[in-house]
Structure 1
Amino acid sequence: MTHEKSLTYSEYLKLDGLLQQQQPLSAEHDELLFIVIHQVYELWFKQCLHELRYLRSAFAAGDTPHALATLKRTLTILKTLVGQVDILETMTPLSFNAFRSRLQASSGFQSFQFRAVEFLLGHKRTSALENYPQDSRERSELQQLMTEPSVYDAFLHYLQANGVTVPAAALQRDPAQPTVADEAVQQALLTVYRTLPFQAQVCERLVDLDEGLQEWRYRHVKMVERTIGAKPGSGGSSGAAYLRNTLFTPLFPDLWAIRAQL
């Protein structure tokens, strides 16, 4: 009688392969930390994409409990992303510059998954595609996301399904365009806050999500300023100057615009 071999922890998590993916290009002590942190960021971005797609489907299904639960999980992940900056900031400018030249043109600026997160949240722009070769998988997937409804688009349809009169133009807009403020949508959102407390909770969690991403952007900017100052970014961007331009631009401008009217 043969016994089937039981699955081990290492086999389930593919640890042999995973732990071989950290391969520093120098003998500098801090390069391993730099690699681990950025690989973990990419794993969290993968989970964020998984959660945001699920959130979009929950909105499409009118499933408020799962939408709220998914928003809570995504917000917790964002807090973890911010917390990881504290670890990265234990690396001094001297230690980073000791191996920075090894990175050549590679940069977090090229993170395909973070761009995909932005696109899913409605921050779409064709200029982001230029960072990836024409025939690359990354560019193809981003082009696909450009044509799909964002989380915010799905949210507006969710409100309509819950009896809120959302302007037809907002429901029928081209999903490839970035989200922009719409006074008619803002009037619909005011109705939500005043008459639909359960859906108003969803609105507030979306504001939390927007704020959470802005918080991560801010910590990222300060970490870059602290590490390389005004030097250009390793991927050819202007470094901290470029990152500062991404600050304080809301993903969901309508949800911020109504604050003074509540």
Structure 2
Amino acid sequence: MLTYSSYLKVDELLSLQQPESKPVEHDETLFIIIHQTYELWFKQLLHEIDFCNRLMADGDTARAAHTLQRILKIMKTLVGQVDILETMTPLEFASFRTFLASSSGFQSYQFRAFEFALGYKRLDPLKHQPKNSPAAQQLNERLAQPSVWQHLLMLLARRGYNIPDEALVVCNAATEPNESVQAVLLEVYHQVPDLTLILELLVDLDEGLQEWRYRHVQMVRRTIGSKMGSGGSEGVGYLQTTLFKPVFPDLWAIRAQF
């Protein structure tokens, strides 16, 4: 008989929190649960982005907008979880940090896959995944797929707008600003309410991602200061370089042109 516990695999789920510290430090359980929860939300974000892409391919802008709104709520949840993590003092984190060994949030392939899905593509994250691993395979697949931004541009092209060919080429680099695309976006803002809503939701998503990055940087700074990150990562120094880099640069470039 299907029950709440069997449907959600509760027993299996609750068995996955296995601290490495010996004796077990109290705060390591919180650390594990927070990051496992992040990974579940990253999985859902990828699920929703793929659905949004299919909806735009079908021309269903209303449901695509609804899906983007759900994604934004999830992003707010990711930011909110930082508040919980920040209840851990530097001393409490230090009590088990050495047991993390070479593991690092820098290795989260699902978050990198989410970045790729948005259009922030690059090859460097693949260096941190074992060759031919499922993680490397997923990232390579994401590199080869059109981003959500390109799905939007394809939708605009089907609506008769003149989208330059180079903006639709799938490559392994981040989305670059394109003045021809910006001219089209300004037309859309003045003419097409349903597409304008999607554009504004993508601005919200970009801003939400930047908010999450900022909160993450500040959380790391207050927890370990200028120390190297776990797994040999650069810690705060690296994270600061990720701030204020929009994934949809054209949407920000046109703000002063209205």
Alignment partner of 2:121 out of 118, 124, 137: 124
SS of residue paired to 2:226 = coil
Match of 2:229 in 1: 233
Distance (whole Å) between structure 2 residues aligned to residue 168 and residue 117 of structure 1: 24
* Counterpart contact for 1:230–1:240, Cα < 8 Å: yes
Whether the aligned pair in 1 keeps the contact of 2:145 and 2:170 (CA below 8 Å) is no
Q: Residue type of the partner of 2:3? A: T
Is the contact between residue 62 and residue 194 of structure 2 (CA under 8 Å) also seen in structure 1?
A: no
Contact 2:17 2:29 in 1 (8 A): yes
The two structures have a TM-score, normalised by structure 1, of: 0.96
* Equivalent-residue separation in structure 1 for 2:166 and 2:94 (angstroms): 51
Q: Which residue of 2 aligns with 1:35?
A: 32
Q: Alpha-carbon deviation of 1:168?
A: 2.8
- 2:74 is matched with which residue? 77
Aligned to 2:5: 10
Q: Deviations over 1:24-62 (max 9, x none)?
A: 122211110000000000000000000011111111111
Measured after TM superposition, the shift of residue 189 of structure 1 is 0.3
Which of 53, 57, 75 matches 1:60? Answer: 57
In the TM superposition, 1:182-261 aligns within 5 A as 182-261=178-257
Query: Could you list the runs of 5+ residues in structure 2 that have no partner in the other structure?
Result: none
Separation of aligned partners in 2, 1:234 and 1:168: 42
Aligned to 1:21: 16
Which runs of 5 or more structure 1 residues have no equivalent in the other structure? Answer: none
Letter paired with 2:219:
M
Give the equivalent residue in structure 1 for 2:92: 95
CA contact (8 A) 1:186 1:255 kept: yes
> Equivalents in 2 of 1:85, 1:48: separation in Å?
17
1-side partners of 2:113 and 2:170: how far apart? Answer: 18
Amino acid at match of 1:160: A
What is the distance in 1 between the residues matched to 2:220 and 2:175? 28
Amino acid across the alignment from 1:176: N
Report how far residue 145 of structure 1 moved: 1.0
Alpha carbons 1:148, 1:176 under 8 Å: kept:
no
Correspondence 1:99-114 to 2 at 5 A: 99-114=96-111
Q: Which residue of 1 aligns with 2:150?
A: 153
Match of 2:41 among 23, 41, 44: 44
Distance 1:35 1:176 in 2: 32
Give the deviation of 1:178 after TM superposition: 1.8
Please provide the CA RMSD for this pair. Answer: 0.9
Bigger proportion of residues as helix: 2
Deviation at 1:160, TM superposition (A): 1.4
Deviation of 1:164 (Å): 2.1
* Runs of 4+ displaced beyond 4 Å: none
Q: Deviation string for 1:76-124 (max 9, x for gaps)? A: 0000000000000000000000100000010110001000000101111
Q: 1:164, 1:191 within 8 Å by CA — same for their partners in 2?
A: no
SS at match of 2:26: coil
| Pair 1:162 & 2:159 matched | yes
CA distance in 2, matches of 1:238, 1:167: 38
Superposed CA deviations along residues 176-199 of structure 1, whole A, max 9, x for unmatched, are: 332000011000000000111111
Report the TM-score, using the length of structure 2 for normalisation. Answer: 0.97
SS class of match (2:48): helix
The DSSP-based 3-state class of the residue aligned with 1:42 is helix
Is 2:182–2:250's contact at 8 Å kept on the other side of the alignment? yes
**Percent of paired sites with the same residue:** 58
